[in-house]
Amino acid sequence: MKVDMRRGKFFISRKNLVQYPKVVKQIMGQCIIIRAEDMYAYNVIEYQAISDWFDEVPEGMLIPEYDLNFTYVDRSVKWMFSKRE
């Protein structure tokens, strides 16, 4: 399976970008961003990316959306992607 076929769409709120820049850098270190769009009305940035976190997407199919889940544990922030159903 080629990694460049593992594509996903996700959103990061401006609040999380400002409050947790180190965590966002970790996330971006796991992704190759192929598209980013400011969704002003929703106060988020929408990203389309290639990552091992995502499922393989056959050519010509829509890129699935993933939720980016943040967990706050003992003064640290953990994160993971989960595919939207």
pLDDT tens string for the chain (85 positions)? 555 899 999 999 999 899 888 889 999 999 999 999 999 999 999 999 999 999 999 988 999 999 988 888 887 778 889 898 8
pLDDT number for residue 79: 85
Q: Structurally, how many domains does the chain consist of? A: 1
CA distance 80 to 69: 5
Query: 74-77 contacts: CB < 8 A, separation 24 or more?
Result: 77/20, 77/23
Which structural domain range is residue 60 located in? Answer: 3-83
Name the residue type at position 39: M
Whether the CB-CB separation of 70 and 79 falls below 8 Å is answered with: yes
Cα–Cα dist 47/31, whole Å: 10
**pLDDT attached to residue 2:** 59
